[in-house]
Amino acid sequence: MRVLILGADGFIGRHIAFHLRGAGAEVIAQARDPRRLARMGFAVVAADLADPACHDPAFWHPHLPPGTCLVNAAGLLTGSNAAFAAVHRDAPRAVLAALSPGARAVHISAVGLQADTRFARWRRETEAVFDGHTILRPGLVLADTSYGGSSLLRALAALPLRTPVIGTGDQPFNPIHATDLARIVQACLVAPPGPGPWDVGGPETISQADLSRLMRRWLGLPAQPLLHLPLPLARRLGRLGDVLRLGPLSATSVAQLETGVRADPAPLLAATGLQPQPVSQFVWARPAGTQDLWQARLYLLKPLVRLALALIWAVSALLGLGLPGPSFLPAVAALPEPLALLLARGGGLVDAALALALLRNWQPRRTALAQLAVVAAYTLGLTLIAPGLWLDPFGGLLKNLAILPLILVHLALAEER
């Protein structure tokens, strides 16, 4: 079997790619930046699905010799309408048009598409594109690793003092392990059960509160009371997450947690003969490691680090652009006054650009490297111009020794996958 996987660098896409390769399939992995997948031994296709070039079937023909199957695991949670249209409609439609006649395709959709959200509307649009092919609607997908919503669940479970749940915490979930989902995808490629759409979920239903308690026990943390977040507050936090680009903390994720994510897997399981593991079983399949606890605790600190750095740069920009010359010129008396003023105002503009990049979460890796370069330049330059600032009782330059590691932490956390 030869399979092209769209979105192979995503949480679900990677599990499908590894499982199919382990089962003997020849996997071609598509991603916007597939270099890591290539290092993992996959044949890759570098393609940004938002690029209009990918919306032409001719782009895909070289990667789809006769008999090649397709698995579409690409999708957006948030974005502009143009981005949703490109990723959820235009690119997959072009790939389907490039498939050889009779080739099999499986589309990974999602449950709960009745909601009036942009995510649900465009997911329905993709399902229309895959009309006649196998459409799977997974519920909550968990794995040994985590990403997005599953990382958020771990992070909330690891919080001290109280474990937050939305509303009553009684919302139902029936999680499925990503490997079991990959097994189902393989079965649908070998013997398609029909177009569907088919719900995909685990055999065990668990409440949001009990799932959080289970995660906490798995991490080896003591039991603690729940913190019930009123629905209006949770919705405001979701909207705030959208504005500040806090990833899984979004209006869409809050809406899903508010209603629960429960799939009805019985029809598909009967058609495939497969039986996924219940969540209370697969959670204990391996022990939680230090890396799991660190990731859970750092996950919510990551946006706080970014916003704290944005605040530092924003205040620095305001000072550099608006502070009167007499208030800082004595500290850099070694420089001519016009040059000192020019450097202060120019530095303020640079600081403002960094603050804006952090607030928009633009190119996190490049932004972190730019911060390191600017802090290093400030530190070196001021050391040469005014070494006495190292002895400032308010810690002028000394604070850079703490800010530099904080930026390195931001850099280390820039990539989630």
DSSP string, 363-398: SHHHHHHHHHHHHHHHHHHHHHH-GGGGG-TT-TTT
pTM, two decimals, is 0.88
Handedness of CA 5, 7, 8, 11 (dihedral sign): negative
Element spanning 178, H or E? helix 178-190
Q: What is the mean pLDDT of the chain?
A: 91
* H-run or E-run covering 199: strand 198-200
pLDDT of residue 80: 87
DSSP three-state, residue 32: coil
Domains, in order of start, for the chain: 1-138 (3.40.50.720), 303-412 (no CATH)
In DSSP terms, 409 is beta-bridged to none
**CB 80 within 8 Å of CB 215:** no
pLDDT tens-digit map of 77-135? 778 899 999 999 999 999 999 999 999 999 999 988 877 778 889 999 999 999 999 99
In angstroms, the CA 29 to CA 128 distance is 24
Are 14 and 8 in contact by the 8 Å Cβ rule? The answer is: yes
Bond from prior residue into 267 cis (ω within 30 degrees of 0): no
CA 155/CA 215 separation, integer angstroms: 9
The candidate with the shortest Cα–Cα distance to 201, out of 111, 106, 273, 107, is 111
Model confidence band, residue 258 (pLDDT cutoffs 50, 70, 90): confident
Tokens 């039986």 belong to residue: 275
Which position has the token pair 């979920």? 201
153-191 pLDDT, tens digit each: 999 999 999 999 999 999 999 999 999 999 999 999 999
Categorize the per-residue pLDDT at 2 as very low, low, confident or very high, splitting at 50, 70 and 90.
very high
Residue 296 in contact with residue 219, Cβ under 8 Å?
yes
Number of H helices, E strands in the chain: 18, 13
pLDDT band at 417 (very low <50, low <70, confident <90, very high): low
Q: Among candidates 85, 82, 136, 78, which has minimal Cα distance to 107?
A: 136
* Nearest one of 80, 67, 76 to 6, comparing CA atoms: 76
Tokens 């897997």 correspond to what residue? 265
pLDDT value of residue 174 = 95
CB 61 within 8 A of CB 67: no
CA separation, residue 395 to residues 44, 108, 307, 343, 383 (Å): 50, 54, 22, 21, 13
Q: What is the pLDDT of residues 303-357, one digit of tens each?
A: 899 999 999 999 999 988 988 877 766 777 777 888 888 888 899 999 999 999 9
Please, is 402 exposed, middle or buried when counting C-beta atoms within 10 Å of its C-beta (0-12, 13-18, 19+)?
A: exposed
DSSP string of 283-306, one letter each residue: GGGSPPPHHHHHHHHHHTHHHHHH
Question: Model confidence over 53-74: pLDDT tens digits?
Answer: 999 999 999 999 999 999 999 9
Is the distance from CB of 17 to CB of 43 less than 8 angstroms? no
For residue 43, give the H/E element and its range. Answer: strand 43-46
Query: Secondary structure of 126-153 in the HEC alphabet?
Result: HHHHCCCCEEEEECCEECCCCCCHHHHH
The dihedral formed by the CA atoms of 152, 155, 160 and 163, expressed in degrees to the nearest 10: 40
